[in-house]
């Protein structure tokens, strides 16, 4: 499915292009996790936009409270013939789950707003039909040298802000590892 309508309502979205991967960079100078790379998107039309560095999500909302604490980025992509909204947060160490859940909830509210615009003005319910995934990448501790490869198995869907997937990051990740 084309994400052209979504691109029309979001400022400066980025596509993964023919490399079919996205890079996420942390703007905080004190961060130990500077970059995360996710590869293996099935289509080059996947869209990413970042909340990082934005002073406010809306000039009309109060600047106090948790409703303005957004996650680092959101990706809209088709994966295995299913549309997904991936909410991405990067943390250096010891992630604070409560704080992260509030960031994800605020970001989900913003996406609900985008969904409302798409429905009302473009007759498009793309966002409402997307599966949602919430992923926190954090600096992985050094792994001992072995021939064993780390794999994460989970039966949980991580489809709500209160239940994100915490994923240790030390090298590029394939998209199917975090779905």
For residue 109, the enclosing domain spans: 4-177
Q: Rounded to an integer, what distance in angstroms lies between the CA atom of residue 141 and that of residue 57?
A: 33
Structure tokens belonging to residue 58: 């809306």
Structure tokens belonging to residue 76: 């809209």
pLDDT of 1 > 50? The answer is no
> Which pLDDT belongs to residue 90?
93
pTM > 0.85: yes or no? yes
Query: Could you tell me if residue 65 is left (phi over 0), alpha (psi between -120 and 50 degrees) or otherwise beta?
Result: left
Which pLDDT tens digit goes with each residue over 80-128? Answer: 889 999 999 998 877 889 999 999 999 999 999 999 999 999 999 888 8
Domain count for the chain, please give it: 1
Which pLDDT tens digit goes with each residue over 15-63? Answer: 888 889 999 998 778 888 989 999 999 888 899 998 766 656 666 777 7
CB atoms within 10 A of CB 105: 19
Q: Give CA torsion, residues 163, 23, 58, 132, to 10 deg.
A: -30
């Amino acid at each position: 499915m084309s994400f052209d309508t979504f691109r029309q309502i979001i400022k400066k979205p980025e596509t993964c292009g023919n490399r079919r991967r996205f890079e996420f960079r942390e703007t905080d100078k004190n961060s130990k996790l500077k970059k995360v790379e996710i590869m293996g998107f099935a289509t080059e039309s996947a869209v990413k936009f970042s909340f990082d560095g934005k002073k406010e999500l809306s000039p009309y909302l109060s600047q106090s409270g948790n409703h303005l604490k957004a996650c680092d980025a959101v990706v809209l992509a088709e994966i295995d013939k299913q549309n997904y909204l991936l909410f991405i947060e990067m943390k250096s160490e010891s992630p604070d789950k409560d704080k992260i859940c509030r960031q994800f909830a605020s970001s989900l509210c913003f996406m609900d707003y985008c969904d409302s615009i798409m429905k009302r003005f473009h007759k498009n319910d793309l966002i409402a039909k997307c599966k949602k995934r919430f992923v926190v990448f954090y600096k992985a501790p050094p792994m001992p040298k072995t021939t064993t490869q780390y794999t994460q198995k989970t039966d949980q869907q991580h489809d709500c802000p209160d239940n994100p997937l915490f994923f240790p990051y030390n090298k590029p990740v394939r998209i199917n590892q975090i779905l």
